[in-house]
Structure 1
Amino acid sequence: MKQTFTLREKTKLIFILLVPILITQLGMFSMVLFNTIMSGKYNSSDLAGVAIGSSIWNPIFTGLSTILLAVSPIVAQRFGEKKEEDVSAVVKNGVILAILIGIMVIILGMFLLNPFLDQMNLENAVREPAYNYLVGLSFGIIPLFVYNVLRSFIYALGKTRVVMVILLSALPLNLFLNYTLIFGNLGFPELGGAGGGYATAVTFWFILGVTIFIIKTKEPFAAFHVFSRSLQFSLAKCKEILKIGVPMGLSTFFETSMFAVVTIFLSQYSVTTIAAYQSALNIVSFLYMIPTSISMALTVLVGYEVGARRYKDAKIYSWLGIYLSMIIALVTGLCIVLFRDEVAGIYSDEAAVISLTAHFLIYALFFQISDALQVTAQAALRGYKDVNIAFIMTLIAYWAICLPVGYVLANFTEMGATGYWLGLTIGLLAAGLGLSSRLLYIQKTKYNPQVSVSGE
């Protein structure tokens, strides 16, 4: 990364970081997309089972992995402060935390998964693929968490293309394994929706292996000796990661668990409704990768400028990223609304599922804009390492506004399942407005551009 002096240079640098991150995020999401589409082509029950399994796994994965993504703003600020010697220690301790967290999740899952599924009162045709999907996925938990730490390290160095190449090299393997394990092709066992879980786990191990090889052998990564014999365990470094990462993880957990709870509420509806909701959610989530990618670039850039005490640059990057994200969300949202019937047909061959999915997608435009605002405002705050107030704001927005509003609209009006979509949109908009206000406040009081040392 380098210092920029004009708005044009800043926009160019955002895109230089953004495009590889976006391709990587789309690639990661493609694994879920492969699971969902192929499970839907297998049968509706397996699609619903994968939907339930994903709704349980996503809050756990995103919440805990976001804790580990705290490595990114910490390392970015170290670069801005020109304290490169601390980078290796931060990454090593991030890897240690990733392994410990992965082991904890596996142990808890062994005891809690069955009782949790029992409480949902699912049809056996849905419960069985949901359980088996999560079991298959569990074999990839540790490599996935470690990879997220290493990915954060690579992003903080500004080498986003490296991660993109690694991920793209893994997609053919994931697609092949989904094709063989879900349908039982080429002599492989026919596992249905559960096959997607095992396919994803094997892919995570492949991705981690390639990432470790590159970090050990290629510059500039090899110079940091992340995998040297000395573990350099540091309680202080672990505390620093957790101090920033835990509020980040909780904020993400509250968002993703909000979607998970909505999925659970929808389990009282028909298999068609569950499948349609999951299909619509996958479509908007796929497009959500764009503002998510902008947010990842934003956290690194803002963190780098804050570390260098170029507060004016940090402020410009913050709002440039937010505006860019919302404009793109507006365009993609309009496209989804206009072509909702054609898009819905990608996920299912059943007319009822296609029709209901297209109906849900009518709300995609406002949903997309609200989501883009909240994710990029939160990312800018993470670059400033201001995470505690954001955690409180997201808790209120998602659980005190979104879910109650969605539940009331779904159960006490004629909207039915559609009410949950409107509730989600209102909750995300409340989060976006609150986080944006917080960003304005800290930029005015704690990181005032008047003390910037920028060359602008």
Structure 2
Amino acid sequence: MTELRTIARHAGTVLAGQLAVMAFGVTDTIVAGRYAGEALAALSVGSAIFISVYVALMGVVQALLPVWAEMHGSGQQAALGRSVRQALYLCGALIALGCAALLHPGPLLRWSGVPAALQGDVARYLSILALAFAPALLFRLYATLNQALGKPQLVTWLQLGSVAVKVPLSIWFTFGGLGLAPQGVAGCAWATVADNLAVALVALWLLRRQPFYAPYRLWRRPERPSRAAMGQFLRLGVPGGLSVMVEVTAFTLMALFIARQGTMASAAHQIASNAAAVLYMVPLSIAIATSARASFWLGSGEPVRARHAVALGFRLSALMALAFAALLFIARRAIADVYTSQPAVAAAAAGLLSWVALYHLADAVQTLCVFVLRCWRVTALPLAVYCVLLWGIGLRGGFVLAYGGPAWQSPSAFWAAAAAALALTAMVFTAMVAHTVRR
């Protein structure tokens, strides 16, 4: 099998699972939008906070992928099993940190100026999602292990199956029926809790029963926390997690600032951000597959083949990004109409989707760059670039355009600034990758 076919098949498998996960957000957005405009606005703010917390901490776990892929490439099966057991201690600390943030969102809601009418629904939504945090993060650990081993199929099947649980539960809990009172936006959160718990339990059963995992001795009694292992995890995971946090918060904090513009602006932004998140799954899947192959070849002592895998990943990611950005721009109004039955919200969202198309082009390039740089253990400099460009130019620039001077009172101000900042980020990261891989 050629290297390109291997990367494409791995990426396609990951993508199917990631799109299944994104179906959660799409389902909740459509269900909340059909329930009430206020529910969609509360979902926009609540999901922005949850995603910021979850993805930042998930980034610490996801950053372990190149470590385990290299161990896989060099045949260190017992060491890989020990490393996975050590990662459980890291997960425990991250779960405690994430739940604390979700249970106390008040200061952030007040600082960002979220209207008081929305704060109660948002706080309730997040308190329910705190119950889903532990199973969600543990499943991410399972997914990272499978991706590092080049076997993402089981993860994908679980994610696809979970959609069959999530979609009907979201509809039922939100609108009520069969003796259950309507829960509104909180119903979407309860459906997520039930789904995440079910998927995590099935993953645990697979780890125990599937012969594929036997050589790694994952079920041995956990060793005491190792200072060397924790140091390795933190050196790679903390910059990786912080980088993801900066990237995601630059994206999700827009929802909190846009909430000042009213319910319709928040609803339109939620549609645009959901579409951007769905598109992001394509370059993310390619980046996961490319980094897994590059790390495998580095662990096997074949850096030339690692560089070849990176080049193929870039070509595939660029081609897909151009195709999906063009499709989004052409069908922007039709896509907006799927999400909402309110013409004013659909019209506003269609305008934002034009910016999302540009945003996606830059997002595809920078996503692959970040994953590739982690294969060569380059993590600190990307974090600095993210802080300066995404926070400094993207988020701050959008705020100034929207609320400073001759204000551009529209969510488009934030999307325009974010697209410009991400384009600069992509150019800087591309130069960094070229230098690192050649060296």
Tell me the TM-score normalised to structure 1 length: 0.92
1:43 aligns to 2:36 (yes or no): yes
Return the letter of the residue paired with 2:271. S
Q: Residues 443 and 121 (structure 1 numbering): CA distance in 2 closer, same or farther, change over 3 Å? A: closer
Return the letter of the residue paired with 1:160. P
C-alpha deviations, 1:273-306, integer Å up to 9, x for none?
1100110111121111100111111121111111
Q: Name the residue aligned to 2:259.
A: 267
C-alpha deviations, 1:129-153, integer Å up to 9, x for none?
2112111111011111111111111
Q: Name the residue aligned to 2:278.
A: 286
* Whole-Å separation in 2 of the counterparts to 1:227 and 1:176: 35
Q: Name the residue aligned to 2:417.
A: 423
Q: Name the residue aligned to 1:339.
A: 331
For 1:116-127, list aligned pairs within 5 A. 116-127=108-119
Q: Name the residue aligned to 1:97.
A: 90
C-alpha deviations, 1:224-273, integer Å up to 9, x for none?
23233334532221221111011111111001111122222211102101
Among 32, 50, 56, the residue aligned to 2:49: 56
Residues 76, 303 of structure 1: 8 Å contact kept: yes
Q: Name the residue aligned to 1:250.
A: 242
Residues 89, 232 of structure 1: 8 Å contact kept: no
* Whole-Å separation in 1 of the counterparts to 2:15 and 2:303: 26
1:396 aligns to 2:391 (yes or no): no
Using the TM superposition, give the Cα deviation of residue 358 of structure 1 relative to its aligned residue in structure 2, in angstroms.
0.5
Q: Secondary structure at the match of 1:386?
A: coil
For 1:57-456, list aligned pairs within 5 A. 57-110=50-103, 112-411=104-403, 412-413=405-406, 415-417=408-410, 418-445=412-439
* Whole-Å separation in 2 of the counterparts to 1:311 and 1:65: 28
* Whole-Å separation in 2 of the counterparts to 1:437 and 1:121: 38
C-alpha deviations, 1:57-115, integer Å up to 9, x for none?
111111111101122111101122222221011111112211221122223443x3223
Return the letter of the residue paired with 1:270. G
* Whole-Å separation in 1 of the counterparts to 2:230 and 2:359: 36
* Whole-Å separation in 1 of the counterparts to 2:386 and 2:100: 29
Return the letter of the residue paired with 1:205. L
Q: Secondary structure at the match of 2:427?
A: helix
Using the TM superposition, give the Cα deviation of residue 387 of structure 1 relative to its aligned residue in structure 2, in angstroms.
1.2
Identity %: 23
Residues 54, 98 of structure 2: 8 Å contact kept: no
Residues 91, 137 of structure 2: 8 Å contact kept: yes
- Report runs of 4+ in structure 1 exceeding 6 Å deviation: none
* Whole-Å separation in 2 of the counterparts to 1:117 and 1:261: 11
Q: Name the residue aligned to 1:453.
A: none
Q: Secondary structure at the match of 1:186?
A: coil
Using the TM superposition, give the Cα deviation of residue 222 of structure 1 relative to its aligned residue in structure 2, in angstroms.
2.8
* Whole-Å separation in 2 of the counterparts to 1:72 and 1:328: 23
Among 20, 24, 40, the residue aligned to 2:17: 24
Using the TM superposition, give the Cα deviation of residue 419 of structure 1 relative to its aligned residue in structure 2, in angstroms.
1.7
Number of residues paired by the alignment?
A: 437
C-alpha deviations, 1:26-84, integer Å up to 9, x for none?
11111111111101111010111011011111111111111011221111011222222
Residues 91, 150 of structure 1: 8 Å contact kept: no
Q: Secondary structure at the match of 1:139?
A: helix
Tell me the TM-score normalised to structure 2 length: 0.96
Q: Residues 239 and 188 (structure 1 numbering): CA distance in 2 closer, same or farther, change over 3 Å? A: farther
* Whole-Å separation in 1 of the counterparts to 2:53 and 2:62: 14
The answer for unaligned runs of 5 or more in structure 2 is none
Q: Residues 60 and 250 (structure 1 numbering): CA distance in 2 closer, same or farther, change over 3 Å? A: same
Q: Name the residue aligned to 1:13.
A: 6
C-alpha deviations, 1:318-363, integer Å up to 9, x for none?
1221221121111111111111111000111111100000111122
* Whole-Å separation in 1 of the counterparts to 2:415 and 2:222: 50
* Whole-Å separation in 2 of the counterparts to 1:403 and 1:70: 25
* Whole-Å separation in 1 of the counterparts to 2:161 and 2:89: 26
Return the letter of the residue paired with 1:105. G
Residues 113, 257 of structure 2: 8 Å contact kept: no
* Whole-Å separation in 2 of the counterparts to 1:342 and 1:108: 37
Task: Choose 222-231 or 12-21, whichever is displaced more.
Answer: 222-231
C-alpha deviations, 1:1-22, integer Å up to 9, x for none?
xxx7xxxx11100112111100
Using the TM superposition, give the Cα deviation of residue 125 of structure 1 relative to its aligned residue in structure 2, in angstroms.
4.0
Q: Name the residue aligned to 1:448.
A: none
Q: Secondary structure at the match of 2:339?
A: coil
Q: Residues 230 and 406 (structure 1 numbering): CA distance in 2 closer, same or farther, change over 3 Å? A: closer
C-alpha deviations, 1:374-404, integer Å up to 9, x for none?
0011111112222111111112221122123
Q: Secondary structure at the match of 1:100?
A: helix
Q: Residues 405 and 360 (structure 1 numbering): CA distance in 2 closer, same or farther, change over 3 Å? A: same
Return the letter of the residue paired with 1:134. L
* Whole-Å separation in 2 of the counterparts to 1:251 and 1:413: 32
RMSD: 1.6
Using the TM superposition, give the Cα deviation of residue 121 of structure 1 relative to its aligned residue in structure 2, in angstroms.
4.3
* Whole-Å separation in 2 of the counterparts to 1:404 and 1:325: 29
* Whole-Å separation in 2 of the counterparts to 1:231 and 1:322: 40
* Whole-Å separation in 1 of the counterparts to 2:214 and 2:190: 32
Task: Choose 96-105 or 194-203, whichever is displaced more.
Answer: 96-105
Residues 18, 297 of structure 1: 8 Å contact kept: yes
Q: Residues 108 and 333 (structure 1 numbering): CA distance in 2 closer, same or farther, change over 3 Å? A: closer
* Whole-Å separation in 2 of the counterparts to 1:415 and 1:113: 28
Residues 184, 190 of structure 1: 8 Å contact kept: yes
Residues 322, 372 of structure 1: 8 Å contact kept: no
